[in-house]
């Protein structure tokens, strides 16, 4: 009964990790895989050893090294890129599980580390070997406990918790068993040996309980756990009986021996068990005879309880104790983690948005405000006609907006019809079978949550249609011939007009140069340097400092131009006040009409852009509602079919 249980290692499908990771680097990172050839070869060689799964201390060290490597790869490589397949080995038949998550590979490696510890635990009975064996079994239990505590929704379907709980308790049982053996070899008191044995039995009992309801633990192992639980319960009661004999509590001794015999008879049959059965039977016969003839002590109905003493617990190996940062930092040292790349991409977008919000748009707004302060009969800086192609682009964009509106209305109507069809089907069947027999709730009672969304979308569609038609009307009022004809009018050359033109042009030039400077000064080099120094992936503070360094002068320029704008607007006002009123000439009227048409066209452009964003957002809302209603009607259909089948049988 002292034969140890060794957990079979899981098997896996071979994968060319060198090629897989090389493809990921070439397709995802801004680096080439060839410069990491040695690292790729090392990772591939590690997994080849994992596939071979030889039982040795050397393999154990390789598994730990591969685990550390996987931890570092989790940080550097994107998930869901490589498909891993592993086979359960606890059952009679091969059960495969597959996943493209790195954690699936990681936890299977931890599983095999735990299984391998159960194999390399010494079976010899010397004191030192017993200590080593006890420690290894606790480390094995720690591996299974680590997996159990790490399982999330993605992993729970890939690892059976009952099997892991069973294996953890099995390893703790064998660790406690090693200590029990040591207590026997050290000739400890029977009471102590009994308590240690009882805890062994309890661990085996819990392992058997979980294995018995597991779908993947083979029957022989389930029987072994139960037999060992019974055997060590018998040992505990037998040793406790000896303890009672020493204290001359012969009634308790007899009752404990009977309990020991009850358990050992359920412990199966082998040489150890059969020998122990005979020993218990002989002891019980002698004790009962002596008590009946000599001591005459009452034998209690209930057996005295043997209190267990637990001397073992799960031990986390060093590799599993600190998971906050990877232990292996040698491989792919110069490969930027995908989180760094993704962070920099996000920072680039934020930097561009910062430039637009704090530099470009404020300067454009100042120019617009300045142009609006120029008298209607004067040519503002940059005023020019548009081409025929530009005009057609406006026309096409408006037509596209109208088509988006019509397409969305069509999808929305189909969605509403889905719900109405469900109402009609429910009413028809309720009439056919009667309300008492047709027990499915009315659609109206179940679909109230959709009505508010439908009404809201209906309002949005009406508003969108009204804005589209209004934009068409504005566009049709624009004088196409005027706006597409090049005007050759001399610009005003008074000092104030010259200042306005120069200020406007300088701002456009400044926007162009500032944007180029922003593009040339991205945060990537700083992030890379910071990550190499700290291994941290929190770059927010660094990015904020970067924004200040890049845009500090730009923001000062915007503030200065705001003051300059106020001065120029004031100059324009004073200039116009000092000039006497004069009769408008045909040239002045032409400029007024041209500027008015440009303003209308600008309004059309703004409406088109806003409409595009509006319909894109509304489309997502309608599609989400459509999916929700389809799911609702699908579930209702299944309920109908089930009830119809029940009513017609």
Q: Are 258 and 284 in contact (CB under 8 A)?
A: yes
The answer as to whether 426 is a domain residue is yes
Q: Which of 132-146, 248-262, 481-495 is predicted with the least confidence, judged by mean pLDDT? A: 481-495
Q: With b meaning 16 or more CB within 10 Å and e meaning fewer, what string describes 134-159?
A: bbbbbbbbbbbbbbbeebeeebeebb
Average pLDDT over residues 516-520: 94
Return the pLDDT at 90. 93
Is residue 50 packed enough to be buried (19+ CB in 10 Å), middle (13-18) or exposed (0-12)?
buried
Is the pLDDT reported for residue 83 higher than 90? yes
Which of 286, 320, 354 corresponds to the end of one domain?
A: 320
Return the pLDDT at 438. 85
Average pLDDT over residues 438-443: 83
Angle at 442 between CA 439 and CA 446, to 5 degrees: 115
Is 432 found in the same domain as 516? yes
Is 607 found in the same domain as 490? yes
Give the model confidence (pLDDT) of 414-424 as tens digits: 888 988 888 88
Average pLDDT over residues 382-397: 79
Which of 260, 288, 320 corresponds to the end of one domain?
A: 320
Return the pLDDT at 74. 83
Give the model confidence (pLDDT) of 294-333 as tens digits: 989 999 999 999 999 999 999 999 989 876 555 655 788 7
Is 348 found in the same domain as 246? no
Highest mean pLDDT among 53-57, 523-527, 561-565 belongs to 561-565
The answer as to whether 459 is a domain residue is yes
Q: Are 320 and 110 in contact (CB under 8 A)?
A: yes
Is 370 found in the same domain as 310? no
Return the pLDDT at 153. 87
HEC-encoded secondary structure of 101-168:
CHHHHHHHHHHHHHHHHHHHCCCCCCHHHHHHHHHHHHHHHHHHHHHHHHCCCCCCCCCCHHHHHHHH
> Which of 4, 111, 115, 14 shows the shortest CA–CA distance to 55?
115
Is the pLDDT reported for residue 472 higher than 90? no
Predicted structure pTM score: 0.62
Give the model confidence (pLDDT) of 594-647 as tens digits: 777 777 888 888 888 888 888 888 889 988 888 888 888 888 888 888 888 888
Is the pLDDT reported for residue 220 higher than 70? yes
Helix axes 102-120, 127-150, angle to 10 degrees: 160
Return the pLDDT at 587. 60
Is 313 found in the same domain as 423? no
The answer as to whether 481 is a domain residue is yes
Q: With b meaning 16 or more CB within 10 Å and e meaning fewer, what string describes 202-228?
A: bbbbbbbbbbeebebbbeebbebbbbb
Average pLDDT, the chain: 88
Cα gap 533→525, rounded to integer Å: 12
Kind of pairing between the strands at 95-99 and 84-88: antiparallel
Domain count, the chain: 2
Return the pLDDT at 128. 93
| Alpha-carbon distances, residue 291 vs 78, 253, 288 (angstroms) | 75, 10, 5
The answer as to whether 240 is a domain residue is yes
- Residue 323: CB atoms within 10 Å: 13
**Percent of the chain surpassing pLDDT 90:** 49
Return the pLDDT at 598. 75
Is 352 found in the same domain as 225? no
Alpha carbon 193 to chain centroid distance? Answer: 49
Is 298 found in the same domain as 351? no
Q: How many helices (H) and strands (E) does the chain have?
A: 21, 3
Is the pLDDT reported for residue 279 higher than 90? yes
* More confident of the two residues 77 and 310: 310
The two structure tokens encoding residue 489: 């009018």
Is 352 found in the same domain as 271? no
The answer as to whether 444 is a domain residue is yes
Return the pLDDT at 11. 93
Partners of 96 in the beta sheet?
87
Give me the domain span that covers residue 406: 338-648
Which of 293, 320, 347 corresponds to the end of one domain?
A: 320
Return the pLDDT at 376. 56
Is 163 found in the same domain as 272? yes
> Which of 111, 102, 99, 98 shows the shortest CA–CA distance to 10?
111
Average pLDDT over residues 488-495: 69
| Alpha-carbon distances, residue 602 vs 401, 403, 564, 607 (angstroms) | 16, 22, 25, 9
Give the model confidence (pLDDT) of 21-42 as tens digits: 999 888 877 778 898 999 999 9
- Helix or strand (DSSP H, E) at 11: strand 11-12
The answer as to whether 448 is a domain residue is yes
The two structure tokens encoding residue 417: 């019809």
Average pLDDT over residues 239-254: 95
The answer as to whether 326 is a domain residue is no
Backbone torsions φ then ψ of 634, nearest 5 degrees: -65, -45
Is 314 found in the same domain as 346? no
Is 134 found in the same domain as 53? yes
Is 346 found in the same domain as 255? no
């Amino acid at each position: 009964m002292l034969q140890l249980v060794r957990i079979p290692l899981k098997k896996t499908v071979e994968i060319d990790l060198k090629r897989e990771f090389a493809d990921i680097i070439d397709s995802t990172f801004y680096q080439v895989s060839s410069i990491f050839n040695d690292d790729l070869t090392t990772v591939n060689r590690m997994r080849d050893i994992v596939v071979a799964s030889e039982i040795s201390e050397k393999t154990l060290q390789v598994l730990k090294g591969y685990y550390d490597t996987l931890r570092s790869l989790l940080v550097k490589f994107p998930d869901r890129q490589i498909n891993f397949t592993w086979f359960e080995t606890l059952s009679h038949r091969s059960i495969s599980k597959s996943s493209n998550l790195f954690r699936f590979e990681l936890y299977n490696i931890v599983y095999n580390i735990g299984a391998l510890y159960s194999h390399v635990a010494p079976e010899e009975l010397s004191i030192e070997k017993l200590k080593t064996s006890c420690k290894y079994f606790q480390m094995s239990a720690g591996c299974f406990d680590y997996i159990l505590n790490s399982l999330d929704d993605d992993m729970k379907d890939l690892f059976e918790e009952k099997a892991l709980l069973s294996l953890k308790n099995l390893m703790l049982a064998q660790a406690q068993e090693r200590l029990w053996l040591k207590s026997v070899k050290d000739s400890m008191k029977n009471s102590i040996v009994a308590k240690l044995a009882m805890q062994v039995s309890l661990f085996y009992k819990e392992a058997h309980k979980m294995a018995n309801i597991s779908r993947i633990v083979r029957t022989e192992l389930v029987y072994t756990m139960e037999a060992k639980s019974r055997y060590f319960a018998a040992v505990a009661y037998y040793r406790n009986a000896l303890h009672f004999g020493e204290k001359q509590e012969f009634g308790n001794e007899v009752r404990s021996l009977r309990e020991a015999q009850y358990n050992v008879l359920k412990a199966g049959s082998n040489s150890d068990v059969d020998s122990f059965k005979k020993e218990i039977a002989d002891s019980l016969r002698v004790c009962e005879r002596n008590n009946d003839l000599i001591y005459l002590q009452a034998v209690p109905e209930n057996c005295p309880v043997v209190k267990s003493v637990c001397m073992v617990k799960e031990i986390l190996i060093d590799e599993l104790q600190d998971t906050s940062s990877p232990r292996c930092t040698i491989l792919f040292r110069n490969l930027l983690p995908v989180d760094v790349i993704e962070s920099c991409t996000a920072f680039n977008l934020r930097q561009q948005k910062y430039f637009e919000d704090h530099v470009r748009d404020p300067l454009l707004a100042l120019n617009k405000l300045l142009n609006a302060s120029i008298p209607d009969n004067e040519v503002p800086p940059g005023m020019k006609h548009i081409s025929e192609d530009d005009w057609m682009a406006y026309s096409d964009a408006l037509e596209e907006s109208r088509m988006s509106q019509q397409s969305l209305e069509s999808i929305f109507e189909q969605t509403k019809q889905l719900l109405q069809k469900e109402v009609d089907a429910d009413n028809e069947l309720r009439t056919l079978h009667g309300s008492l027999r047709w027990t499915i709730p009315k659609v109206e009672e179940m679909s109230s949550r959709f009505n508010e969304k439908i009404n809201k979308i209906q309002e949005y569609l009406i508003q969108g249609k009204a804005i589209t038609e209004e934009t068409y009307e504005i566009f049709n009022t624009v004088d196409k011939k005027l706006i597409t004809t090049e005007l050759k009018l001399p610009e005003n050359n008074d000092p104030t007009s010259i200042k306005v033109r120069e200020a406007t042009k300088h701002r456009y030039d400044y926007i162009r140069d500032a944007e180029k400077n922003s593009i040339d000064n991205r945060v990537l080099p700083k992030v890379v340097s910071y990550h190499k120094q700290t291994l941290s992936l929190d770059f927010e503070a660094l990015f904020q400092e970067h924004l200040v360094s890049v845009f500090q002068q730009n923001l000062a320029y915007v503030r200065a131009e705001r003051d300059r704008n106020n001065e120029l607007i004031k100059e324009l006002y004073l200039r116009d006040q000092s000039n006497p009123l004069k009769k408008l000439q045909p040239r002045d009227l032409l400029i007024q009409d041209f500027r008015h048409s440009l303003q209308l066209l600008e309004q059309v452009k703004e409406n088109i852009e806003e409409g595009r964003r509006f319909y894109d957002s509304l489309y997502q809302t309608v599609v989400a509602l459509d999916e929700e209603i389809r799911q609702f009607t699908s579930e209702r259909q299944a309920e109908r079919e089930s009830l119809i089948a029940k009513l017609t049988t």
